[in-house]
Structure 1
């Protein structure tokens, strides 16, 4: 059940991967294609590669909770190696470069139009994402970077969701209060619980809201309701 926001909504924060950005291809196809390209024989099924990927991605990373530092190459090198069972450098570079490019990602349907509508209505917009430094080039390649007043990346902030630090950084960069923000993301722990701990209203993508058009309609409704409330208070 999604939160009932503060009556005065001034900003929308959105998660990147899994919400705003959708992988263009299954990760298993990308990994196995890169291995085949460089002559590395992988004796694993797609299902096994996917299971390995999920385990590797969720494994503790050293003594820190921060997986993405700068370009996050060490982290992703381990993920690729454990996923396909090979430390071949050419395979890793091929995969890493692929996910640096716009072709690796697709915008969620209707996202650009909905965000443009919100921005035109005076809503401040930010990406708030656990990602490495490739996020900005990806957003530029997809021609949506200009829609955002702030792009807040965990690798740059030095904190990952669900830490309130990254949400606080987004709020500060937008020049609003946490209570005036809605955050939308696909991870209950990172996006919903993390957002709420930071004082931000949080909606779970795929459950509380299902499309960017729906997000825009609800945010604009709340914004309008807040304006009416403020007018009544002034009278």
Structure 2
């Protein structure tokens, strides 16, 4: 018999690779930058991608940029404002900035890790409810629909829809209320100790896994093992 009645899952870094994140042997956000340049018909050489990546990395350390990102996912408008501050500090021109933002905000343009589908299938077969709890500025439901995974998710608790971001206990409590389980009956799964790990403050057992850097990585068997659910 499963140890829990529900699993709360983070999205970026847990189920999908972040678009602006580390990639083995490549600059941060390389695929995202390349695609945006390509959409504009601009040069997307390794040198150009690396130049933009380096400028964004440097800009991200500015205090005003860091402060802006702290509450960016509370609303779509706040995220857009924080983004523009970041790319502006990096010297990215407005046309490229718009193309990059469009790509960044395309939730359906994401590949799930290889073990997401079998893990969700096993959880559903075992009778557990699943909620995706994400700090995000756009609706991610289309990504699950496109991947054929929407039938395995009972609810989505997205920060921009509720005006609360992790690590605030409110977002975890909202998720529990929406799927009708008590804190002791749920497992939170995420990749960031300072955000997802805060679920413990809401009384939720929490499992932290290494941030996903490649869709071929398999870490979610740990979720099934923690829940006492056999793999399928």
1:152-182 CA distances to partner (integer Å, 9 max, x unpaired)?
Answer: 1111111110000100010001100011111
Q: Which residue of 1 is the match for residue 214 of structure 2?
A: none
The TM-score, its normalising length taken from structure 1, stands at 0.75
1:190 Cα deviation (Å)?
0.3
Q: Rate the CA distance shift 1:38–1:60 in 2: closer, same or farther, 3 A.
A: farther
Q: Which residue of 2 is the match for residue 9 of structure 1?
A: 4
Determine whether 1:74 maps to 2:69: no
Q: Which residue of 2 is the match for residue 153 of structure 1?
A: 158
Q: Which residue of 1 is the match for residue 204 of structure 2?
A: 200
Matches within 5 A, 1:1-235: 8-23=3-18, 26-31=28-33, 34-35=36-37, 37=40, 45=51, 48-52=54-58, 54-55=60-61, 59-61=66-68, 65-68=70-73, 69-70=75-76, 72-83=79-90, 85-88=91-94, 90-101=95-106, 104-192=109-197, 194-206=198-210, 211-221=219-229
CA RMSD, Structure 1 to Structure 2 (Å):
3.1
Unpaired runs of 5+ residues, structure 2, are: 212-217
1:50-97 CA distances to partner (integer Å, 9 max, x unpaired)?
Answer: 5236436961129xx5212036322222233334x1241x21221122
Contact 1:100 1:137 in 2 (8 A): no
1:102-152 CA distances to partner (integer Å, 9 max, x unpaired)?
Answer: 564221221111111111111010111111123223333333232111111
Q: Which residue of 2 is the match for residue 229 of structure 1?
A: none
Q: Rate the CA distance shift 1:119–1:58 in 2: closer, same or farther, 3 A.
A: farther
1:21 Cα deviation (Å)?
1.1
Unpaired runs of 5+ residues, structure 1, are: 1-6, 223-235
Q: Rate the CA distance shift 1:94–1:54 in 2: closer, same or farther, 3 A.
A: same
Q: Distance in 2 between matches of 1:139 and 1:75?
A: 26
Q: Rate the CA distance shift 1:53–1:137 in 2: closer, same or farther, 3 A.
A: farther
Q: Who wins on radius of gyration, i.e. which is larger?
A: 1
Contact 2:157 2:175 in 1 (8 A): yes
Q: Identify the range of structure 1 (23-32 vs 112-121) with the bigger mean alpha-carbon deviation.
A: 23-32
